[in-house]
Structure 1
């Protein structure tokens, strides 16, 4: 860490930061799609159970997302200000907090697991399967927290090759165990449990590799314990983390509510849940690239604002936002013609396939809006202005999307198509609000003061 990272905003520097993250997001996309695909080959009940379980797992990860968002802001801004000692303090705090919260959240979720699934509309065999999967999936949470925080540290220092290599290795192990455990007779009629144990093994390997890589690069040291700096270092990290965490709760809880709305639909609720879960994973093929742009934007904007280059931060943010939206819209346009093939790949059930296509149709149309919102959210995190994300996502999800999804799904269409239409409408409004904040509000003033 003695060598100061390159914080250039040249095309070469940004491309070097971006392309490994794009590849890494596609690898993660494969990891997200693989268990849903495997579940789709088993039954609609397994698809629904795993989809809801994984969505709840994402909801529990909001603390991890929050801490990592705060860490990205303060570490990248400290690097931009050429204060590497302060950056190192934030690295230590980030890893410590993620380890503590990973264990705590997992324990609490296990204690209240019965109450959690009682609220989500799963019925019969799907509910029984979800309870079994959940008990194992929760054990992977602390490992996931640590691995994700390690990747954030590397990204903040613009070291993106290490995370890419580690993610590829973890993906290879994950796929191996999915096929080894889930398509054999190892669990004697409960092959779906192979999906949960594969996730646990993969996350454990990921945490170990992430820790070894941090030690190898010198980003953590057993002899360096900056407890005296906690009082000074914590407030800014926690402020950004609080806003990002609240945004994640708003977003993930909103998706869980959408699952519940679909689960209580009068027609084909379990098949619609399977279609929603599978369609969401296919959509991530596009959305993950937006996440890569999101993460790059947060680091570059943080570097610029840390170095007091406000105009450059605005310019780079706009370039990343609109170039990312343009590229991903082209990809969505190409995939539009293969929706039926994608649905057939994800499930053998005819009704589930129908709802996958319905989901993809409206979410492919929303691609430019969802990508713009995603990258702008990264810009706001890098500027320590994540409260704008909270306000806009909260409004678009809970004031517009949820009520509209319930009305259209239960009273107008009568099936999940109404829910998917509501998602498109809310994305358009959300993007309009983001653009207003970017061009009309001074969001750069919230960065660290030096």
Structure 2
């Protein structure tokens, strides 16, 4: 901490702060657009009915499992491309961009086909309440139809921010957000699509966004060629994050299933959980924005062989993020009732969602610190350590304790909310310990 204090007093600390903020603020806006999309989805679902709201929660969790490979590939892409961009090796950079784009397209196409045919089987295997299954299957098929385009969109956004073109990514996501929201309301008021309009709005908007991003990358992809060793390197870096996200999404599904076992008001509590998660994403998404920004900053600086500055920049980015997140937490706590009432008209759903928010907000600054430092580790290619620490906090703390409290002891949903906070504390501690020991700075990818 003394080193950090000394650094903050130095003249070059301003350039570090400026560099961190220049990457972070567009990412915050991008995540804000993602939040608006999710908020609109849950708003539309709530206006149709609590059953649709609960179904949407299940569908989104399952959909995120399908896009795990895209996120994993993108983590590897950012780590490789951000270093190549500052190293000056343009030929290798163009090969990496072209190879990553082709890999994302092929993976997305395969999972689109798989999603269309396997959705009903997956839903039947899960302990989803019977009254929700007829709505979940068609909604998931529509989401699956847009998977290939979403893969390209996610990957191309990673490439753009790695190459100092994050504002191009920002403009694309602003367009995606506007189209998604407009289509959501259009389908609700002017068609008979009902709840399926929510999924169709997402599939349509990400398809358009992916095509826009491909135009941004046209020049560099035309000059590239397919290179399997580069793809292998990206996957080697990214697979731990893919596995991590799979474990994370499975843990979210496990929480939904545990809450489905509550003896009473389970539909209302599931709807409240879905609503609370969407509101909480107003906090989580900016934290994740700093996570992604930290990965880019770390990769760029290591590519320039400025490893000590990379370490300090990661800390500075985390501190900026925690300060912003703390302010947002206070705002949400003070306005929880109004926010929840805007998203749901059911009295019990509103009360349960308020409880969730009051408890979960207490752990958000701690969550932000850990997640942002993890982004720095990802950018350095130290993804396996992040996988281990997050997996331990979720699968050895969160899920077992939630199961113990709800299934074995018969406690209510509040015990789940407090357990989630405890696991965030464990996660932040483990990641901080890894980051501060600095050994990851010497690793080569």
Q: Deviations over 1:326-370 (max 9, x none)?
A: 220121012111111111111111121122112212220111111
Counterpart selection for 1:63 from 57, 64, 69? 69
After superposition, the C-alpha distances for 1:80-136 in whole angstroms (9 at most, x for unaligned) are 322222222111111111111111112223322223223433223321111121111
Deviates more, 1:407-416 or 1:348-357: 407-416
Equivalent in the alignment of 1:280: 277
Q: Name the CA shift for 1:200/1:235 in 2 (closer, same or farther; >3 Å).
A: closer
Distance 2:36 2:105 in 1: 26
Q: Indicate the residue corresponding to 1:211 in structure 2.
A: 214
CA contact (8 A) 1:68 1:152 kept: yes
**Cα drift, residue 225 of structure 1:** 4.7
Q: Aligned with 1:124: secondary structure?
A: coil
Describe the shift of the 1:298–1:9 C-alpha distance in structure 2 as closer, same or farther (beyond 3 A): farther
2:355 maps to 1:364: no
Q: How does 1:2-401 map to 2 (within 5 A)?
A: 10-184=16-190, 186-187=191-192, 191-215=194-218, 218-221=219-222, 224-227=223-226, 229-231=227-229, 233-401=230-398
- Cα-to-partner distance string for 1:201-232 (whole Å, 9 max, x where unaligned): 112211111112222xx2221xx4523x423x
Deviation at 1:139, TM superposition (A): 0.4
1:433 maps to which of 418, 430, 433: 430
1:423 aligns with 2:420: yes
Distance 1:115 1:376 in 2: 38
1:72–1:299: 8 Å Cα contact kept in structure 2? yes
What value does the CA root-mean-square deviation take over the aligned residues? 1.7
List gaps (5 residues or longer) in structure 1: 1-7
CA distance in 1, matches of 2:207, 2:152: 10
Shift of 1:256: 1.4
The offset of 1:371, in angstroms, is: 0.5
Q: Partners in 2 of 1:168 and 1:243 — Cα distance? A: 30
Cα shift at 1:412:
4.5
Local SS of the residue matching 2:368: helix
Deviations 1:253-286 (A, max 9, x none): 1111111111222222221111111111111111
Residue 414 of structure 1, CA deviation: 3.0
CA distance in 1, matches of 2:16, 2:369: 22
Q: What is the aligned length? A: 432
| TM-score computed with the length of structure 1 as normaliser | 0.92
> Taking structure 1 as reference, are residues 220 and 142 closer, same or farther at Cα in structure 2, changes over 3 Å only?
same
8 Å contact from structure 1 (residues 262, 272) kept in 2:
yes
1:46-67 deviation per Cα after TM superposition (whole angstroms, max 9, x unaligned): 0011111011101111100000
> How many Å separate the matches in 2 of 1:119 and 1:98?
28
> In structure 2, what is the Cα distance between the partners aligned to 1:281 and 1:427?
18
Contact 2:38 2:278 in 1 (8 A): yes
TM-score by length of 2: 0.93
Contact 2:103 2:231 in 1 (8 A): no
Runs of 4+ displaced beyond 6 Å: none
Q: CA deviation at 1:312?
A: 0.6
Measured in 1, the distance between the counterparts of 2:339 and 2:125 equals 30
**Would the aligned equivalents of 1:69 and 1:244 in 2 still touch at CA under 8 Å?**
yes
